């Protein structure tokens, strides 16, 4: 069956009541954007708490459902038959023809679930259930009705101007439309965790940009390209994002030459956070996002996280903080970042790691070590922020 339209059911409505239209409009604009990537012309419209996507030309069903499956805010994608013919006898014929086309194998059980959004429709729902069920049984004697656990739940929704007939429901990604919940800056490395972290926060409706710290010549162009690739994959869900590429080499060298080696990673991470916060401030970001997870490495013990967090004044979202590695890997496989994340390119953190990094740093000691940098590092930070490269991804 070639469906002509889709009913989009949305997930949580973050902003109920008067602001609900903002949520719906954002969702519609993301749906339109997602559909631009597939062949065909579509009309997207809202009507009394419903969002409809109608194909105006030929299209590829798999491409469309895949594109819609990446739009945050969508709970269900229901391919449907929509008809303006509301006469009940004609409706019976349409329902029968729907079942004929959608289900090749007729040995199935079904149940009709009719609803009248238009209470003036002359046939009550209960009678619609019975009569439409009877029409289907007459047409396909192999089918059986099962009101408890039907193979097919056939929904027939009578609305004011149209009738929607559907029985297939494809799960959407859930969440809220991007942009309905502010903006944040993702610290994106080439690893497995940070792309997942960005995906998770974007899923809650937050628009994201990203920052990547690279250290040429210690990290290669390939390592940077890998991060651009990851940002582009996350952007398929979050929408296009700016990737700020910060040259971190001088800062890293300065820390390396000046501070105790076992504290290198923590101090480096504190500078990453400081710079990220500066960029967030400049670009309207209200929070930072990292892929940190408790205990994963020395720089992610609770003490280390506290020491890193010490320099931040805006909120830091760490959505995978309590996830096991495998749980993060599972999400990265699902969203398609895993294969890129495991490409073996060097990371700027790994190049300057000490043999025995502190695992329980004291904030006081770290602050003291950082005093050694005073007078030298401020200008380097200014330069790094000012000379960053911005790459549009997605």
**Nearest Cα to 93, choosing from 1, 5, 3, 165?**
165
Pairing mode of beta strands 183-187, 207-214 = parallel
Element housing 35 (H / E): helix 20-36
Report 297-356 residues binding Mg ion (CB under 5 A). Answer: 347
Q: Is 326 exposed, middle or buried (0-12, 13-18, 19+ CB in 10 A)?
A: exposed
Would you count residue 296 as binding Mg ion (CB under 5 A)? no
Would you count residue 180 as binding ligand ATP (CB under 6 A)? no
Q: Shortest distance, CB of residue 297 to Mg ion, whole angstroms?
A: 8
Cβ-based neighbours of 57, under 8 Å, separated by 6 or more: 40, 41
Report 267-326 residues binding ligand ATP (CB under 6 A). Answer: 272, 290-292, 296-297, 299-300
**Nearest Cα to 363, choosing from 219, 282, 278, 263?**
263
Reported for 16-24, long-range contacts at CB under 8 A and 24+ positions apart, including other chains, are 22/180, 23/73, 23/176, 23/177, 23/180, 24/51
Report 182-211 residues binding ligand ATP (CB under 6 A). Answer: 187-189, 191-194, 211
Report 187-206 residues binding Mg ion (CB under 5 A). Answer: 189, 191
Q: Shortest distance, CB of residue 350 to Mg ion, whole angstroms?
A: 8
Site string for ligand ATP, 340-359 (x = CB under 6 A): -------xxx----------
Would you count residue 241 as binding ligand ATP (CB under 6 A)? no
* Residue 7 binding: pick among Mg ion, ligand ATP, none (C-beta 5-8 Å cut-off by kind): none
Q: Shortest distance, CB of residue 290 to ligand ATP, whole angstroms?
A: 4
Of residues 162 and 192, the one with the C-beta less far from ligand ATP: 192
Instruction: Give CA torsion, residues 189, 192, 195, 200, to 10 deg.
Output: -140
**Nearest Cα to 311, choosing from 376, 281, 267?**
267
Q: Which two tokens stand for residue 110?
A: 């079904």
Report 73-92 residues binding ligand ATP (CB under 6 A). Answer: none
Binding site for ligand ATP (CB under 6 A): 187-189, 191-194, 211-213, 272, 290-292, 296-297, 299-300, 347-349
**Binding residues for Mg ion (CB under 5 A):** 189, 191, 347
């Amino acid at each position: 069956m070639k469906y002509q339209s889709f009913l989009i059911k949305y997930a949580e409505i973050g902003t109920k009541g008067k602001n609900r239209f903002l949520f719906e409009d954002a969702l519609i604009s993301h749906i339109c954007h997602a559909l631009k990537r597939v062949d065909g012309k579509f009309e997207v419209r809202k009507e009394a708490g419903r969002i409809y996507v109608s194909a105006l030309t030929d299209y590829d069903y798999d491409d469309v459902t895949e594109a819609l499956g990446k739009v945050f805010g969508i709970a269900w994608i229901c391919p449907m038959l929509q008809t303006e013919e509301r006469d009940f006898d004609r409706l019976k014929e349409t329902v029968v023809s729907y079942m004929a086309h959608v289900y090749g194998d007729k040995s199935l059980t079904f149940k009709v679930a009719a609803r009248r959004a238009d209470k003036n429709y002359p046939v009550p729902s209960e009678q619609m259930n019975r009569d439409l069920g009877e029409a289907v049984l007459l047409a396909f004697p192999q089918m059986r009705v099962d009101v408890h656990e039907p193979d097919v739940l056939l929904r027939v929704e009578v609305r004011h101007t149209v009738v929607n007939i559907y029985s297939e429901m494809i799960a959407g990604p859930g969440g809220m439309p991007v942009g309905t919940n502010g903006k944040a800056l993702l610290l994106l490395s080439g690893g497995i965790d940070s792309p997942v972290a960005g995906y998770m926060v974007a899923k809650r409706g937050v628009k994201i940009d990203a920052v990547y710290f690279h250290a040429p010549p210690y990290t290669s162009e390939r390592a940077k390209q890998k991060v651009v690739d990851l940002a582009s994959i996350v952007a398929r869900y979050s929408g296009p994002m700016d990737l700020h590429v910060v040259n971190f080499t001088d800062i890293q060298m300065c820390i390396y030459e000046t501070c105790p080696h076992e504290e290198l990673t923590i101090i480096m991470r504190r500078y990453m956070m400081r710079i990220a916060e500066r960029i967030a401030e400049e670009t309207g970001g209200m929070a930072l996002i990292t892929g940190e997870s408790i205990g994963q490495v020395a720089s992610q013990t609770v003490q280390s996280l506290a020491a890193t967090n010490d320099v931040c004044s805006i909120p830091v979202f760490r959505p995978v903080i309590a996830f096991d590695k495998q749980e993060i890997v599972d999400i990265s496989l699902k969203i398609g970042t895993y294969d890129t994340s495991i490409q073996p390119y060097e990371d700027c953190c790994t190049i300057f790691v000490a043999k025995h990094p502190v695992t329980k740093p004291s904030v006081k000691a770290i602050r003291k070590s950082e005093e050694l940098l005073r007078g030298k590092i401020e200008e380097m930070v200014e330069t790094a922020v000012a000379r960053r490269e911005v790459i549009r991804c997605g």
